[in-house]
């Protein structure tokens, strides 16, 4: 853990791991930078040692860091919760952690809008919105992430009437590489706003954001068993029946768990059980997955066994929306998550299933999570100009052990590209600029905006160089 001075405002900033030697006077820079900090993402799949690490508390301190970076010709990377399971947050230059810029700046009850500093965690925003009778209309599965990071990486959930989380942003402020502050919305710097809502951290430093909220609401979650054939044959029906519909397919089987989430007036209720959810669903599962690293043939059996053990009954939960949308991410894991045209859902899943059946030595952990999102007009949104299906695959890392996954990854990516997929920006992928030029009609427009705002490439890193060069 970090040896940085304790800050009560960072009490929930535990998504990334920090380590550094004791701070000495020589380790301090004029804008309160630290040497010797090691950054790792939450999954511990990527890490880096930035030359200098900063925790600014004001806009002026950020401007000073950027001025120093220009003077010394250094690159700058802004990080938030560190939850992205890729190297998008890594740098060997200057790293700016936004955890101390986490205030709520304004709540407009009439417009149902909230303006926040970029470094606020969603986990800290939810209870503040509760106090004002407000909620976000949709959320991803994890809340130990910053608002700016969530939108910048194109984070999503599910619901054919809902876009990715960035579509809830109605305004933002951005500091560019030269220290200029730009106000962006549909009415001011509209083209930049169209780009900056999925910014990849390469346009500048997001300072604040205004989010469109909705009146506070409760959700009921109902899950029940089905088969892959039934769900795919009746996909349109499922999509119409539930506002936030998704399903989990268990590879090496026909088994599916269908999940409906819908508005309710029911009081909070949970069918959760420590024994089933933790003793069986986490501790036993992790042990068996570790065993399967020596005997990969067990993976199919594990998938079927846990479906039978945990997912064959109907389960119901109800609570405030943010408590249903989000859940505890227990396992360290490798993840891929691509958005494909919604009409390609059946074709892609059946091809993935056929590939696994044809190659019994390629194993896949459960679940393959399938979600659906409305199209938008954000330049680098994976849902740009089309309604989409997200198909999320994982390989767990039991007790931190890496598992063979490259054959599965390659086959999955091949299928995703074949059906016109676009990868989730925060997750692992092997795409380059040539791929993105084919995937995104507005890619040249985004590149022109980026090059105008940051001609020297201050906000690039190794991940982004593969995207833009």
Query: Do 210 and 222 reside in the same domain of the chain?
Result: no
Reduced to 3 DSSP states, what percent helix, strand and coil does the chain have, rounded to the nearest 5? 35, 25, 40
Query: Do 243 and 374 reside in the same domain of the chain?
Result: yes
3-class secondary-structure state, position 152? helix
Confirm whether 227 is domain-assigned.
yes
Give the structural domain span for 89: 8-97
Query: Do 401 and 261 reside in the same domain of the chain?
Result: yes
Per-residue pLDDT averaged across 407-432, rounded? Answer: 95
Query: Do 246 and 395 reside in the same domain of the chain?
Result: yes
Chain segment 149-172, per-residue pLDDT in tens: 999 999 999 999 999 999 999 999
Domain boundary, last residue among 46, 67, 97: 97
pLDDT cut 70: percent of the chain above it? 93
Confirm whether 450 is domain-assigned.
no
Task: Kindly give the residue spans of alpha helices, DSSP state H, lying in 10-94.
Answer: 59-72
> What's the chain's average pLDDT?
91
The predicted structure's pLDDT at residue 8? 32
Spatial contact of 440 and 400, defined as CB atoms under 8 Å apart:
no
The predicted structure's pLDDT at residue 331? 85
Chain segment 369-401, per-residue pLDDT in tens: 999 999 999 999 999 999 999 999 999 999 989
Chain segment 97-150, per-residue pLDDT in tens: 999 999 999 999 999 999 999 999 999 999 999 999 999 999 999 899 999 999
Query: Do 272 and 247 reside in the same domain of the chain?
Result: yes
CA 110 vs CA 107, 323, 333: distances in Å: 9, 25, 42
Per-residue pLDDT averaged across 256-264, rounded? Answer: 98
pLDDT band at 251 (very low <50, low <70, confident <90, very high): very high
The predicted structure's pLDDT at residue 327? 84
Residue 232, pLDDT above cutoff 70:
yes
Across 10-86, the runs of DSSP E, i.e. the strands, are 17-19, 33-34, 38-40, 47-48, 52-54, 76-79
Distance CA 143, CA 89 (A): 18
3-class secondary-structure state, position 299? helix
Per-residue pLDDT averaged across 192-206, rounded? Answer: 97
Domain boundary, last residue among 97, 123, 158: 97
Residue 269 tokens read as 């209720």
Chain segment 34-61, per-residue pLDDT in tens: 898 999 887 778 889 999 999 999 999 9
Query: Do 181 and 315 reside in the same domain of the chain?
Result: no
**Residue positions counted in the chain:** 469
Number of structural domains, the chain? 3
Q: φ, ψ for residue 25 (rounded to 5)?
A: -60, -35
Confirm whether 248 is domain-assigned.
yes
Confirm whether 80 is domain-assigned.
yes
Confirm whether 247 is domain-assigned.
yes
Chain segment 430-457, per-residue pLDDT in tens: 999 999 999 999 999 999 999 999 999 9
Q: Which residue has the tokens 């996909």?
A: 235
């Amino acid at each position: 853990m970090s040896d940085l001075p304790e800050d009560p405002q960072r009490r929930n900033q535990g998504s990334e791991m920090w380590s550094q030697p004791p701070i000495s006077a020589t380790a301090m820079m004029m804008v309160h930078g630290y040497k010797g900090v090691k950054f790792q993402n939450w999954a511990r799949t990527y890490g880096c040692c930035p030359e200098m690490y900063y925790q600014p508390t004001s806009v002026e301190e950020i401007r000073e860091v950027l001025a120093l970076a220009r003077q010394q010709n250094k690159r700058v990377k802004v990080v938030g919760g560190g939850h992205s399971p890729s190297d998008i947050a890594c740098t060997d230059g200057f790293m700016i952690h936004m955890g101390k810029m986490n205030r709520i700046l304004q709540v407009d009850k009439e417009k149902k809008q909230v303006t926040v500093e970029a470094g606020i965690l969603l986990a800290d925003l939810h209870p503040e919105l509760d106090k004002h009778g407000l909620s976000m209309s949709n959320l991803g599965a994890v809340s130990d992430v910053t608002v700016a990071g969530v939108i910048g990486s194109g984070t999503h959930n599910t619901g054919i009437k809902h876009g990715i989380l960035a579509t809830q942003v109605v305004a933002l402020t951005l500091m560019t590489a030269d220290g200029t502050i730009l106000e962006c919305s549909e009415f001011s710097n509209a083209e930049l706003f169209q780009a900056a809502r999925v910014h990849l951290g390469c346009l500048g430093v997001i300072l604040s954001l205004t989010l469109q909220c909705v009146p506070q609401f409760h959700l009921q979650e109902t899950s029940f068993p089905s088969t892959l054939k039934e769900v795919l044959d009746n996909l349109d029906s499922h999509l119409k029946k539930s506002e936030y519909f998704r399903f989990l397919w268990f590879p090496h089987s026909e088994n599916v768990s269908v999940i409906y989430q819908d508005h309710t007036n029911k009081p909070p209720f949970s069918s959760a059980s420590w024994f089933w959810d933790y003793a069986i669903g986490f501790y036993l599962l992790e042990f068996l997955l570790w065993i399967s690293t020596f005997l990969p043939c067990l993976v199919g059996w594990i998938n079927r066994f846990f479906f039978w053990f945990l997912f064959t009954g109907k389960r119901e939960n109800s609570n405030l929306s943010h408590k249903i949308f989000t859940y505890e991410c227990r396992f360290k894991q490798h993840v891929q998550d691509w958005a494909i045209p919604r009409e390609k859902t059946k074709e892609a899943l059946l091809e993935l299933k056929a590939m696994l059946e044809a190659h019994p030595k390629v194993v896949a952990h459960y679940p393959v999570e399938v979600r659906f999102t409305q199209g938008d007009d954000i330049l680098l949104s994976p849902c740009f100009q089309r309604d989409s299906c997200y198909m999320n695959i994982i390989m767990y890392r039991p007790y931190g052990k890496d598992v063979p996954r490259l054959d599965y990854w390659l086959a999955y990516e091949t299928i995703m590209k074949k059906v016109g997929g676009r990868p989730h920006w925060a997750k692992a992928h092997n795409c380059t600029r040539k791929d993105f030029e084919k995937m995104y009609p507005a890619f040249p427009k985004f590149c022109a905006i980026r090059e105008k705002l940051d001609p020297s490439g201050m906000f690039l890193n190794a991940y982004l160089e593969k995207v833009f060069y």
